[in-house]
Structure 1
Amino acid sequence: MSAIEALYIFDEHNTPLLEHTYTGRPPPGSTVLPLYLSHPSPRPSLIYLPNTNPATLLYSIIQDQLLFLCPCSSDTEPLQVLEFLHRVADALEDFLGSPLLASRIESNYDVVAQLLSEMVDGGVISCTEPNALKDVVEAPSFMKNLLGGVGLPSTTPSSLTPGATPFSLGSGRSPRLGPSGNTQGTSPVPWRKANVRHTSNELYVDIVETLQVTLSPSGRPLSAIANGTIAFTAKVSGVPDLLLQLGCPGGISNSVSLPVFHPCVRLNRWKERPSELSFVPPDGRFVLAGYEVDLLGPAALDSFSTSTTAKSAPKLNIPATVSVQPSLGPTGSDFEVRLQLNPRFAGKSSSPLPSATGSSFPGRGGLGRGLGGHPQGTTAAPSIEEMVVHIPLPASVKNVMDLRVVRGAGDAGYAPGDRSIEWRISSREVGMLISNDRGGGIGATATLRGTVIGQDEDEGLEGGAVSLSSNTYDYDDDQTSSYQSPSEAPSKTKDEGSDARKVKQNKVLMPSCATVSFSVKGWLPSGIKVESLTVDQKRSKGLGAGITPYKGVKYVCVSRNGVESRC
């Protein structure tokens, strides 16, 4: 079992904020920090330090510009220590707020010390669940800091033992230390707080998928992976027992691979029925499960090696694709970037009032109105948020001239010396492009063109030596045709050779790929959806008879430079 010997936290200026030693005699933070900084950036999460006594393995993560270091001098499980560091950062954000700032840690040392002591006992990881920690550690509050600053007790009367009178200056009684609501003991479920009470019972499911697609110069997909996360928010009284039913066109067992689950999920139920998640949720928001989906399918690799035609290539139904046409123009200095938009993601629906999720669940969260006056960002009318096309440039490019959007909309930005071009198209402009498309449902197209200028071209124009000939020529007007006619052929050949040389020189200045970033509300690349979410009244406790929680589902696809087209 991995032993956590110490934890060191440094701010963005590498100033020590906290040093907490659990067991043994680990090297201090003043020793391991210079050794960590001596490694070139980007630094790995695990660094071996042979110069310490004894030799030490140093684990590290960076959260909100804060550096977390954990030294270990014995054999450890690397993933367990790294996961512990992430749990510490998440717990501090849960109690102190997000983003995690150095000032918040400095002003709440008492809370941080209690958290670190509860999470590790004698070097052994004991409790890292946020809900369980909230049962034993009291979160800081404005009133607590205010009362403590003026010398009054910070514990409120509601946190006293049952039947106790409120604390007064003359009573001589001291309030019970500890978090409020812990009078009935700890919860039987490790990841859920005890005595949870909510006035409005609500259950929300947010499925977020990140899309990564690589396209060949011919437009054929080489790889397409969607990584999904099921975020769950439970605001239900008592101890509810839930059953989440998932569906997928090809079946969950055939589509989902590498699933990971929160400890609350009953794994035996999932193994028997891969589409069902049975669990008792923690209180509040948490990550229920994660998964990966290969959008090309298991037969994609075989099709790459056997098929030769474009029709037999795997098909993808994604919001947008991009292609690059380099070496255009007489000298090959122009390039063209073409963005193809899928008409399915226009953000409007033909139905009068579509449901938010295509199921019995009502939608939630910032739903706007489409161009036709219907709700957008739903499964019936998925909408594309702001789209960004990123075009990397070689280091030898000094400037890009005549950068313009010749078709479509958006703004393209570039400054001399930048290593890339950014072409931004807002969600409103995307909707207008798709709605104004007359391509018979193929999709709207936007085009960006530009001219690259290299280092050598500017130097030749600015600092090149110019030689002037002093020879003079006498000729008669009637002999003009006789001496010009034989020189036309060599001149034309010289121009053609010069253009060919320029095309070859400008070829290395052309962009070699382009990527698209976007987010889509109401659509998932994998096609996974929530079929049902039910509360088992027989297994649930403390919910109350006849109470039906409000349920909501939201689907979001996010791609950050995820759709890449090579040329």
Structure 2
Amino acid sequence: MSQVEALYIFDEHNNLILEHVFCARPPSASVLLPLYLAHPDPRPSLIYLPSTNPPTLVHSIIQDRLLFLTPSSVDTEPLLVLEFLHRVADAIEDFLGSPLLASRIEAHYDVVAQLLGEMCDAGIIANTENNALRDAVEAPSFMKNLLGNVGLPSSSPSLAGSGRSALTPPGTSPTASPVPWRRTNVRHTSNELYVDLVETLSVTMSPSGRPLSAFANGSIAFTSKVSGVPDLILRLEAPGGIANVVSLPVFHPCVRLARWRERPGEMSFVPPDGRFVLAGYEVDLLGPDYLLHQANLKPGSSSATNLNIPATCEVKTSLGSLGAEFEVRLQLSSRFKSSGPSGGISASSGRPAAGLGSRAGSGFGIGGNTGTSAAPQMSDVVVRVPLPRGVRNLSEMRPSRGEVQYAPGDSSLEWRLPTKDVSALLQLGMGASATLRCSVVGALDEDEELDGGPGDNVLSVNRYDYDEGGATSPAPAVDAGYQSGSLDPTNGGSGNGSGGVSRTRSPDPDAKAEKKRRSNRLLMPSSASLSFQVKGWLASGVKVESLNLDHRKSRGLGAGVTPYKGVKYLTASKDGVEVRC
């Protein structure tokens, strides 16, 4: 059985701001923190400490620069405890405001202590739903603090407006909600329902341009501002069917799983009040058996063209006469070019845009009403190129569009393209590409440091004695050596007729150039990562078909009331598209 023994919260300076013990006798914060900090960065979320008595497993998360630590000396489920820590951070943020600040936690310790007491009872995780916690714990308010300071009764309903009487203590309402994740007596002046589908891309491309893996991890964020207890039905669709596209789905406890099993793509639920995560899923964009087919691994395979992502890049290395240059080419997919004002075409499937909130548009990223399912918009395009440690500087950076951010000694360079440049490239259709060419500079070798050209100043490496009392060995003529360079003693100071100058014979130019090319080959980047954001488009093709309110099962909404509905799509790739070279 999972057991949470205590909770310690530290600020960004590792000062203890809250200590709450649930059960047992856990190690104190002064003992636990040094043992946790003894592990080098990056520290894992679970650390085993055998030096304590008894041995302890420490669970940790960091949110808004605050460190949450929970020790456990018995056999426990790590994922459950980590999820509990995330729920605690979210609950404190919901009651005290975002972001989490150490001063707020210290000023409202009474509220935080009530939250922790409701969320965990004697080490057993209990109530973690924010809506249910609103009925049990009274949120702080400005009026409550003002009345308390002047000595007047400060009982007041919470900020969220639970509808409780000011004389009714929290948690003692006779009409408690039968739904544990929803507050009682919810009232809203404007009834609204919003669905936000957000997907993050994780794509790996081989040096030949063939995709090795491509996944889209999606989340369905739902915002419910409806009075009473609404009962909703959300239907999703995707090319090929939801059951064949979506894998590893996870749901909020409000979703009726039997309905999903009978009809994949259909979710029936009573939502919590406010914003919450309704479901999550994963989509394999290449298919589960992609690597099992030999045809997909052959050169010239069309799998890369079938991969539906709006932008890719490739890196060419060892360019130039000495192999000291590399080129990054950003290619925008021609599938997302403007289709003209005559009809909006969905960029994900090539069909007329459908779903809630869809409107006719002009194409991808172009037009007056972009960022919708009919006219998606790409922005925040960034190409990051990691550089080897041997790179001392980049002598030349020549982008065809956008700007490059790099300082000598940085581990990577960033190439940013503003939205206006992306829109201009998309208008080119098949030629929607931009290039960046750079020259690397490595460490100086011995030939560059000591062996100069005919016009270089070469310092003599001979040793001179300047003893005034007479030297044991005759000193060379300093004036002649200073004017004419180093002297060759074996040549009698005559040299080759040019003032006694003697130089070491330079190596073969071809051999020197080949050596330089070999050293520059070690300075070339091995990969590049692409980041972008697309509003109004999903890589998986998942769309909201309908969102309906079941009036027969709903309570307290009122006859004839139809909530306003809205849907948004967003695809984000934070260094998610990696191209190897």
| TM-score grouping bracket, smaller chain normalisation | 0.7 to 0.9
Residue 332 (1) aligns with residue 323 (2): yes
In the aligned structure 2, how far is the partner of 1:376 from the partner of 1:281? 30
Residue 447 (1) aligns with residue 435 (2): yes
Distance 1:105 1:472, change over 3 A: same
Matched residue pairs, number?
Answer: 531
Are 2:139 and 2:158, in contact at CA under 8 Å, matched by a contact in 1?
A: no
Find the residue that maps to 1:386 and give its secondary structure. strand
Q: Return the offset for 1:546.
A: 1.0
In the aligned structure 1, how far is the partner of 2:10 from the partner of 2:451? 54
Matches within 5 A, 1:258-337: 258-304=248-294, 307-314=297-304, 315-337=306-328
Residue 257 (structure 1) aligns with? 247
In the aligned structure 1, how far is the partner of 2:227 from the partner of 2:96? 25
Residue 97 (1) aligns with residue 97 (2): yes
Residue 358 (1) aligns with residue 382 (2): no
What amino acid does structure 2 have at the position aligned with 1:109? Y
Residue 479 (structure 2) aligns with? none
Aligned pair partner of 1:205 in 195, 212, 237? 195
Q: Return the offset for 1:371.
A: 7.7
Matches within 5 A, 1:141-156: 141-156=141-156
Structure 1 window deviating more from structure 2 (542-551 vs 225-234): it is: 542-551
Structure 1 window deviating more from structure 2 (237-246 vs 51-60): it is: 51-60
Query: Share of identical aligned residues, percent?
Result: 61
- Cα shift readout 1:163-182 (whole Å, capped 9, x = no counterpart): 98x9xxxxxxxx54438xx7
Residue 222 (1) aligns with residue 216 (2): no
Are 1:60 and 1:67, in contact at CA under 8 Å, matched by a contact in 2?
A: yes
What amino acid does structure 2 have at the position aligned with 1:137? V
In the aligned structure 2, how far is the partner of 1:123 from the partner of 1:523? 44
In the aligned structure 2, how far is the partner of 1:52 from the partner of 1:307? 52
Q: Return the offset for 1:500.
A: 1.6
Q: Return the offset for 1:555.
A: 0.3
Aligned pair partner of 1:384 in 353, 363, 378? 378
Q: Return the offset for 1:378.
A: 1.6
Residue 73 (structure 2) aligns with? 73
Q: Return the offset for 1:155.
A: 2.0
Q: Return the offset for 1:370.
A: 8.5
Aligned pair partner of 1:375 in 335, 345, 369? 369
Distance 1:363 1:460, change over 3 A: farther
Distance 1:64 1:52, change over 3 A: same
Find the residue that maps to 1:264 and give its secondary structure. coil
Distance 1:214 1:305, change over 3 A: same
Residue 528 (1) aligns with residue 516 (2): no
- Cα shift readout 1:76-128 (whole Å, capped 9, x = no counterpart): 11111111111101111111111111111011111101100110111111100
Name structure 2 gaps, 5 residues minimum.
453-457, 461-485, 489-493, 499-504
Residue 243 (1) aligns with residue 233 (2): yes
Residue 425 (structure 1) aligns with? 417
Find the residue that maps to 1:2 and give its secondary structure. coil
Are 1:355 and 1:362, in contact at CA under 8 Å, matched by a contact in 2?
A: no
Q: Return the offset for 1:158.
A: 10
Find the residue that maps to 2:93 and give its secondary structure. helix
In the aligned structure 2, how far is the partner of 1:528 from the partner of 1:371? 20
In the aligned structure 1, how far is the partner of 2:370 from the partner of 2:252? 32
Residue 575 (structure 2) aligns with? 561
Are 1:349 and 1:372, in contact at CA under 8 Å, matched by a contact in 2?
A: no
Largest Rg, 1 or 2: 2
Residue 232 (1) aligns with residue 222 (2): yes
In the aligned structure 2, how far is the partner of 1:161 from the partner of 1:204? 21
In the aligned structure 2, how far is the partner of 1:270 from the partner of 1:444? 42
Aligned pair partner of 1:549 in 563, 570, 573? 563
* TM-score relative to the length of structure 2: 0.85
Structure 1 window deviating more from structure 2 (390-399 vs 496-505): it is: 496-505
Residue 472 (structure 1) aligns with? 496
In the aligned structure 2, how far is the partner of 1:113 from the partner of 1:190? 21
Residue 22 (structure 1) aligns with? 22
Are 2:10 and 2:18, in contact at CA under 8 Å, matched by a contact in 1?
A: yes
In the aligned structure 2, how far is the partner of 1:163 from the partner of 1:264? 24
Residue 483 (structure 2) aligns with? none
* TM-score relative to the length of structure 1: 0.88
- Cα shift readout 1:415-443 (whole Å, capped 9, x = no counterpart): 111111111111111101222x2xxx324
Q: Return the offset for 1:352.
A: 6.7
In the aligned structure 1, how far is the partner of 2:338 from the partner of 2:90? 35
Q: Return the offset for 1:157.
A: 8.1
In the aligned structure 2, how far is the partner of 1:222 from the partner of 1:373? 35
Residue 119 (structure 2) aligns with? 119
Q: Return the offset for 1:142.
A: 2.0
Cα RMSD for the two superposed structures: 2.9
What amino acid does structure 2 have at the position aligned with 1:299? D
Residue 400 (1) aligns with residue 394 (2): yes
Distance 1:305 1:158, change over 3 A: closer
Find the residue that maps to 2:69 and give its secondary structure. strand
Are 1:348 and 1:376, in contact at CA under 8 Å, matched by a contact in 2?
A: no
What amino acid does structure 2 have at the position aligned with 1:86? H
In the aligned structure 2, how far is the partner of 1:163 from the partner of 1:26? 38
Are 1:320 and 1:341, in contact at CA under 8 Å, matched by a contact in 2?
A: yes
What amino acid does structure 2 have at the position aligned with 1:542? G
Are 2:3 and 2:72, in contact at CA under 8 Å, matched by a contact in 1?
A: yes
